[in-house]
Structure 1
Amino acid sequence: MGEIAERELFEVLEPPVQRIPFVFNSPHSGRSYPQSFLDQSRLDALSIRRSEDHYVDELFQNATFLGAPMLLAHFPRAFLDVNREPYELDPRMFDGPLPPHANISSMRVAGGLGTIPRLVAENMEIYRGRFPVEDALTRIETIYKPYHATLRKLIARTHVQFGLSVLIDCHSMPGNVHLPGSAQRPDFIIGDRYGTSAAGELSRAAVDLLQQLGYSVVRNKPYAGGFITEHYGRPTRGLHALQIEINRALYVDEATLVRKPGFGALVADLTTFIGSLARHVEDYGAYLPLAAE
């Protein structure tokens, strides 16, 4: 873990009282880089940040004021990606054998984007060379597993209190992302694993509410949701999970990582969106435990 103290690995921002059946999660906005990790890397201090969901935790910061807890990572995605299976690992990265239960053949591992990533965006190699497999397994045991245990606890607590839970998994995407076969570059993508991680009515409401705020919004293309959305979304049990991807061109200069002047306006719009979606769930929540589309 290097210089990241245990208490600083991640944190839960709690409202005084949870008033809405939502849990917000920002797994990729961490920007606390251990010096030992930087020493292992061949990248400069700016390039290594290309995998971050820049400032997404700040964009959704008002969720707690509206009555929902928010889990956010301080460790960076380039160090450990909790939106993967726990052991999606590339054996070419490590000295020493991986455990037999490691998934070494997933598409994400092949793409360099496993639990311990090999690449940051634009196919830039992170590490100078191989490093001990014990290092990778320690990250999984001491960060990945406690992170997911915390997320499960928040979701379970919310489900018990309200009879349903809506997980909003918060991400950003590069400004040049466009729809397959199209030049359209959406402002937002709502992912529900093609209707399997959340009730269709909830997904449609999220799309509609963002469109009413003037944004271009699509559903599931090209991002339908990752491991977290797939793993925690069980709509037939009243456990709903949506992934939200925000186009970084809306709020940050991707070359300098400086926030754009419209950053505050986007925070305000997302606050409006959260409140409106919460009211939708309050009005129609009785339908949400039904089977997804």
Structure 2
Amino acid sequence: MQWADGRLEPFEVREPEQQTIPFVFNSPHSGRFYPPEFLAASRLDSLSIRRSEDHFVDELFSDAPQLGAPLLVAHFPRAYLDVNREPYELDPRMFEDALPSYANIGSMRVAGGLGTVPRIVAENMEIYARRMPVADALSRIEALYKPYHACLRRLIARTHARFGFSVLIDCHSMPGNIRIAGSDTRPDFIIGDRYGTSASAELSRAALHILEDLGFNAVRNKPYAGGFITEHYGRPVRGLHALQIEINRSLYVDEATLEKRADFEVVAAALSLFMRQMIDFADEFSIESTLAAE
């Protein structure tokens, strides 16, 4: 399957002229190119099928390369393939034939229709008009999922080798109707660190405090603690930190039309400040960590 008549790669790394900071930014769900064959196989219209996108998140974090960090961006959409899952979380209800024995068919994400090859987009809308061949799903995993993760691993390993530690910021957006359990509070941002297992508490607290100082309502881990990427790549005891950031998309997108709001540039500017202040904190964090080890 070609991407934009062969000229658009399925994902890209937007590199700085020289990496000068121990950060890697990742936008795995902001892909906006829907292959014609995929749309033809779907029962959804061209707007409805976009409901699972992290709309324009790659643009919100577009300053990362000029600040000195690589930004990995998926062009394929989450509805087509979700790289924030295990490689083979697959729903047998979707397929004409039997799945291989190594497929994880019992995860909560599969049960909810949101496996590696999703069955639904947001609001429980079924994607496909009919069952698909297993070979189609496996080919997406081979052609897209595995190369994407190989690229992300290289970026993290390079960063860790150069600086002695690395911070992965996994960038996402969430629906505007998300509320904190037991309250009417609508968070503007959620920082996920897998309940303290994917990044140091100091980094998580710094991210929260920076966002709060910028005037946002920011919370930690609830209801989103981080997905497969955060869990898989975060190893803080080895100096490999991973934070997920969820942005309330109603801040910057009209959720009915999926068009940018007038405040889009305001949110983008705030996230540029967030990145700059996280970089400043990481410098202090690195010095303190070095002194503690001596």
Distance in 1 (CA, whole Å) between partners of 2:42 and 2:8 is: 24
Partner residue, 1:56: 57
Q: Is 1:175 matched up with 2:184?
A: no
Per-residue CA deviation, residues 52-82 of structure 1 (Å, 9 max, x unaligned), is 0000000000011100000000000000000
Q: Is the 8 A contact 1:235 1:289 kept in 2?
A: no
TM-score by length of structure 2 reads: 0.96
Aligned pairs (5 A) from 1:68-217: 68-217=69-218
Distance in 2 (CA, whole Å) between partners of 1:50 and 1:208 is: 30
Distance in 1 (CA, whole Å) between partners of 2:2 and 2:113 is: 23
Partner residue, 1:228: 229
Note the aligned Cα RMSD (angstroms): 1.3
Deviation at 1:279, TM superposition (A): 0.6
Partner residue, 2:276: 275
Partner residue, 2:261: 260
Unaligned runs of 5+ in 2: none
Alignment partner of 1:64: what SS?
A: helix
Per-residue CA deviation, residues 130-160 of structure 1 (Å, 9 max, x unaligned), is 0111000000000000000000000000000
Count, aligned residues:
290
Distance in 1 (CA, whole Å) between partners of 2:241 and 2:285 is: 14
Distance in 1 (CA, whole Å) between partners of 2:288 and 2:102 is: 39
User: Is 192-201 or 88-97 further displaced after alignment?
Assistant: 88-97
Partner residue, 1:243: 244
Structure 1 residues 203 and 288, CA gap change in structure 2 (3 angstroms)? farther
Deviation at 1:3, TM superposition (A): 4.3
Per-residue CA deviation, residues 74-112 of structure 1 (Å, 9 max, x unaligned), is 000000000000000001111222111100000000000
Q: Is the 8 A contact 2:3 2:33 kept in 1?
A: no
TM-score by length of structure 1 reads: 0.97
Structure 1 residues 6 and 229, CA gap change in structure 2 (3 angstroms)? farther
Deviation at 1:288, TM superposition (A): 5.4
Give the partner amino acid of 1:218.
Answer: V
Give the partner amino acid of 1:162.
Answer: F
Per-residue CA deviation, residues 210-235 of structure 1 (Å, 9 max, x unaligned), is 00000000000000000000000000
Structure 1 residues 208 and 150, CA gap change in structure 2 (3 angstroms)? same
Q: Is the 8 A contact 2:12 2:74 kept in 1?
A: yes
Q: Is the 8 A contact 2:3 2:9 kept in 1?
A: no
Deviation at 1:286, TM superposition (A): 4.0
Give the partner amino acid of 2:69.
Answer: A
Deviation at 1:120, TM superposition (A): 0.2
Alignment partner of 2:51: what SS?
A: helix
Per-residue CA deviation, residues 141-189 of structure 1 (Å, 9 max, x unaligned), is 0000000000000000000000000000000000000001111000000
Distance in 2 (CA, whole Å) between partners of 1:137 and 1:18 is: 34
Distance in 2 (CA, whole Å) between partners of 1:235 and 1:289 is: 14
Alignment partner of 1:104: what SS?
A: coil
**4+ residue runs over 6 A deviation:** none
Distance in 2 (CA, whole Å) between partners of 1:234 and 1:277 is: 19
Alignment partner of 1:149: what SS?
A: helix
Q: Is the 8 A contact 1:3 1:36 kept in 2?
A: no
Aligned pairs (5 A) from 1:24-35: 24-35=25-36
Alignment partner of 1:78: what SS?
A: coil
Distance in 1 (CA, whole Å) between partners of 2:197 and 2:147 is: 26
Structure 1 residues 18 and 3, CA gap change in structure 2 (3 angstroms)? closer
Distance in 1 (CA, whole Å) between partners of 2:22 and 2:7 is: 28
Q: Is the 8 A contact 1:190 1:220 kept in 2?
A: yes
Q: Between the two proteins, what is the percent identity of the paired residues? A: 69
User: Is 229-238 or 281-290 further displaced after alignment?
Assistant: 281-290
Unaligned runs of 5+ in 1: none
Q: Is the 8 A contact 1:236 1:289 kept in 2?
A: no
